[in-house]
Amino acid sequence: MAQSVPTILRDGQEYMKTWPLRRELYSLFPDCRVVAATRFAVKFMPPAAVLACATMLNTFGTEYLPQALAIGAFFLSMPMQGLLWLGKRSNETLPPQLRSWYQEILTSMRAQGCAVQNPQHKPRYRELARLLKTAFDDLDKAFTQQWF
């Protein structure tokens, strides 16, 4: 199932908004670091691209316009790389060990009376992000310490 680049970017933005940035998850998933780096890149790379291009053109003149544009394009591509990675990751199915952990958390949350989505046969990282966000937002600290 091939997806278009805009669809993957949109999935990456949604996944970035959904994934909980919690201290407990940083050692378990690389997604936390990628989400933090992508948020930083979305905020600071466009001004850095303009500044780098302007500085290079001001220092070396218009003869270096192609190099300045290449540097600007590089800076502007960094947030897109993070969003592409996150979009691809959100559509990957969970590995077997993580799938069983997902099912255990889902079962425990249902026992606690949480309104969670219906379990998927092959859950993806997107469903895991939603489940973890619900767990950290709705449940008390004692319950989340049991799992993390």
> pTM of the predicted model, to two decimals?
0.85
Q: Under a CB-based contact definition with an 8 Å cutoff, are residues 42 and 80 in contact?
A: no
Query: Confidence band (pLDDT; 50, 70, 90) for 105?
Result: confident
Q: Under a CB-based contact definition with an 8 Å cutoff, are residues 15 and 126 in contact?
A: yes
Instruction: Output the pLDDT for position 147.
Output: 58
For residue 49, pLDDT over 80 is answered with yes
Domain spans of the chain?
Answer: 1-91, 93-148
Name which of 67, 46, 44, 47 is nearest 57 in CA terms.
Answer: 67
Mean pLDDT across 119-133: 88
